[in-house]
């Protein structure tokens, strides 16, 4: 009787779930290719994106100078038909292909790239990847010059509101002039973009394929941009990026529809120069936070691709155990870790115990990572003792010997040395995580480990995706789950994240020695010496433990290889969705 009751309840729940899905996502027209994202987008502005599901859409809507050819993972021309590099490696000259057009029919110009890159550089936009552009001559100086220009406005006292407004009205024109004078980006004609670097950068060409370097339609973005009253900060109307009537794109697709927390529809850009090579004409992205709901829709045939089945969730392990032919597992150049808030004081003004590296390392050494990957995720991901996944970068071996391993006695000793011989005195800590992706399972196991090994009790805080992202950026947390996926094939794609002032440095760890090592590496032209300096930087990061690496990612995707062609799984998870065909 009990078994029959359970079966009936299960059937009812499945029926209810299917009904709910029809209500939430019903009436959706069939696209050529449909995939799932776990949450709605944080940003659709290519210069402000950093989350993977945001970047995936940027790659569809915008075309940068170059792209990665799949499956070879070699650089090929995109918006730029060709380029030259000066003998000293400092100057890149890109030639924009004459047939490249925006979705409104306008030609793509070098000025569109300059406009976009300037947006990424200025502090006004609070772009997470501003520092990537500091490779360009004068960009870092301009960033600080503009920041000081804005800071002066806050310090100065003006005789009248009219004087203040006249000063604000003059600020941006002055900034534009200063940019032209100081930053090594120029355009001798609309079809030519010249970029002058601070130093030879072997990965710069690959870097330009990243979404932060994509162009924007300068005229449209300028129309949607204004100066905020009294503070002088330039800001673009956030609604522009999600408005199909206003958004102008140069990628394979244009934005046809966005329904908040429901779906996003992209259709073929009629002016895209390479549309004849595209293998689909429409892509629909459906937002589903619950991976079980996503899997149900996939089984119903309403989803073609589940890009990332959360590897922290029980669903992933259950699917792997079934040996499904449509489940594709592959290594991924990324790490799952915990951020420690390293600021001296917390939001309430109290002293932050996590500012002490001994406390951070003790907590990290009390995490039983082997148990997490064997019994929680049940996927046996590689246990992480480094931030950079071993084997992900040719010629670079991360200093795993400096990482934190599960050593309970050493963890207790360090915590006592920091003044917490009685772990119950270490209070006020909580683990923040975004809900719906299985992160609570990992958090519960780590909470148990800290209680059993150290006597430290922590609270668990689960919040939805956007609130989670905002709290990370404002350091409204003590400990938070985190992850990082490499954006380009160089060690700096991981290590730059923890540089002082980096927009992605959510722990706010600041080390002058670490910054110096990164700077030293940037000045070295000998590849072996450069990698040695970067290895020293990671060694320091691992000894200080502003983050606690947990495991290195594998990616789990669900799609039928006999039905879906052109996805080409790879360790860097590079995608070309315009070349995907669903039979």
Residue 250 in tokens: 């140069």
The residue that leads in pLDDT, 229 or 9, is: 229
What's the number of CA atoms in the CB half-sphere (13 Å) around residue 163? 6
Per-residue pLDDT of 350-374, as tens digits, reads: 999 999 999 999 999 999 999 999 9
Query: Which pLDDT score, from 0 to 100, does residue 8 have?
Result: 36
Residues 454 and 412 sit within 8 Å (Cβ to Cβ):
yes
On whether the pTM is more than 0.85, the answer is no
Residues 482 and 488 sit within 8 Å (Cβ to Cβ):
no
Q: How far apart, in whole angstroms, are the C-alpha atoms of residue 227 and residue 234?
A: 4
Q: How far apart, in whole angstroms, are the C-alpha atoms of residue 243 and residue 208?
A: 26
Whether the bond between 376 and the residue before it is cis, its omega within 30 degrees of 0, is no
Query: Which pLDDT score, from 0 to 100, does residue 36 have?
Result: 95
Query: Which pLDDT score, from 0 to 100, does residue 7 have?
Result: 33
Band of residue 28 on the pLDDT scale cut at 50, 70, 90: low
Query: Which pLDDT score, from 0 to 100, does residue 348 have?
Result: 86
Query: Which pLDDT score, from 0 to 100, does residue 21 have?
Result: 40
Per-residue pLDDT of 258-293, as tens digits, reads: 998 899 999 999 999 999 999 999 999 999 988 899
Nearest to 39 by CA among 222, 281, 308, 232: 308
Is 52-242 a domain of CATH 3.30.1280.10?
A: no
Does residue 27 register a pLDDT over 80?
Answer: no
Instruction: Parse the chain into domains and list their residue ranges.
Output: 52-242, 329-555
Same fold, 52-242 and 329-555: no
Q: What percent of the chain has pLDDT above 70? A: 95
Which residues are CB-contacts of 338 (< 8 A; sequence separation ≥ 6)? 364, 431, 446, 479, 480, 481, 482, 547, 548, 550
Q: How far apart, in whole angstroms, are the C-alpha atoms of residue 502 and residue 483?
A: 16
What's the number of CA atoms in the CB half-sphere (13 Å) around residue 4? 1
Nearest to 310 by CA among 368, 406, 259, 381: 381
Per-residue pLDDT of 173-189, as tens digits, reads: 999 999 999 999 999 99
Strands (E), 171-281: 185-189, 192-196, 225-227, 234-236, 253-259, 263-268
Residues 526 and 533 sit within 8 Å (Cβ to Cβ):
no
Query: Which pLDDT score, from 0 to 100, does residue 314 have?
Result: 81
Q: Which fold has domain 329-555?
A: Dipeptide-binding Protein; domain 3 (3.10.105)
Residues 253 and 575 sit within 8 Å (Cβ to Cβ):
no
Task: Give the torsion through C-alpha atoms of 210, 211, 212, 215, to 10 deg.
Answer: 110
Residue 23 in tokens: 């209500």
């Amino acid at each position: 009787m009990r078994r029959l009751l359970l079966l009936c309840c299960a059937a009812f729940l499945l029926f209810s779930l299917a009904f709910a899905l029809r209500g939430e996502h019903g009436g959706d027209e069939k696209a050529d290719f449909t995939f799932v994202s776990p949450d709605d987008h944080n940003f659709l502005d290519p210069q402000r994106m950093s989350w993977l599901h945001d970047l995936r859409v940027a790659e569809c809507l915008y075309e940068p100078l170059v792209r990665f050819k799949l499956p070879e993972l070699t650089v090929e021309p995109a918006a730029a038909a060709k380029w030259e590099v000066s003998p000293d490696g400092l100057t890149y000259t890109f030639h924009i292909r004459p047939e490249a057009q925006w979705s409104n029919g306008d030609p793509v110009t070098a000025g569109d790239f300059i406009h976009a890159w300037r947006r990424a550089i200025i502090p006004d936009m609070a772009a997470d990847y501003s520092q990537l552009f500091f490779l360009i001559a004068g960009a870092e100086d301009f960033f600080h010059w503009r920041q000081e220009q804005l800071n002066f406005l806050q310090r100065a006292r003006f005789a009248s509101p009219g004087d203040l407004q006249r000063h604000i009205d003059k600020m941006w024109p002055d900034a534009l002039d200063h940019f032209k004078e100081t930053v090594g980006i120029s355009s001798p004609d609309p079809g030519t973009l010249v970029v002058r670097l601070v130093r030879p950068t072997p990965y710069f060409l690959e870097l330009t394929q990243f979404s932060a370097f994509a162009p924007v339609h300068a005229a449209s973005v300028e129309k949607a941009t204004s100066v905020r009253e009294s503070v002088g900060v330039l800001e673009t109307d956030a609604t522009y990026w999600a408005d199909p009537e206003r958004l102008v794109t140069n990628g394979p697709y244009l934005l046809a529809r966005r329904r908040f927390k429901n779906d996003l529809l992209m259709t073929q850009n009629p002016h895209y120069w390479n549309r004849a090579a595209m293998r689909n004409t429409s892509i629909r992205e459906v937002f589903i936070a619950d991976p079980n709901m996503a899997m149900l829709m996939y089984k119903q045939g309403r989803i073609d691709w589940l890009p990332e089945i959360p590897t922290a969730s029980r669903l992933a392990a259950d699917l792997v155990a079934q040996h499904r032919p449509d489940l594709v597992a592959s290594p991924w150049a990324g790490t799952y870790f915990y951020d420690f808030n390293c600021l001296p004081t917390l939001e309430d003004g109290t002293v932050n115990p996590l500012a002490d590296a001994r406390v951070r390392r003790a907590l990290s050494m009390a995490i039983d990572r082997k148990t997490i990957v064997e019994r929680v995720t049940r996927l046996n991901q590689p246990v992480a003792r480094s931030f950079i996944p071993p084997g992900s970068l040719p010629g670079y071996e991360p200093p795993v010997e400096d990482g934190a391993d599960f050593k309970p006695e050493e963890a207790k000793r360090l915590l006592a040395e920091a003044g917490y011989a009685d772990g119950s005195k270490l209070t006020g800590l909580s683990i923040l995580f975004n809900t719906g992706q299985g992160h609570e399972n990992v958090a519960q196991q780590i909470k148990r480990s800290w209680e059993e090994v150290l006597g430290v009790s922590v609270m668990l805080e689960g919040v939805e995706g956007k609130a989670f992202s905002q709290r990370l950026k404002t350091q409204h947390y003590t400990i938070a789950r985190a992850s990082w996926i490499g954006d380009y094939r160089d060690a700096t794609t991981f290590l730059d994240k923890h540089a002082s002032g980096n927009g992605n440095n959510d722990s706010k760890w600041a080390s002058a020695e670490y910054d110096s090592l990164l700077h030293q590496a940037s000045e070295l032209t000998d590849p072996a010496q450069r990698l040695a300096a970067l290895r020293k930087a990671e060694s320091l990061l691992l000894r200080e433990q502003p983050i606690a690496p947990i495991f290195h990612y594998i990616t789990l995707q669900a799609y039928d290889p006999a039905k879906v062609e052109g996805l080409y799984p790879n360790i860097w998870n590079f995608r070309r969705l315009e070349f995907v065909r669903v039979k």
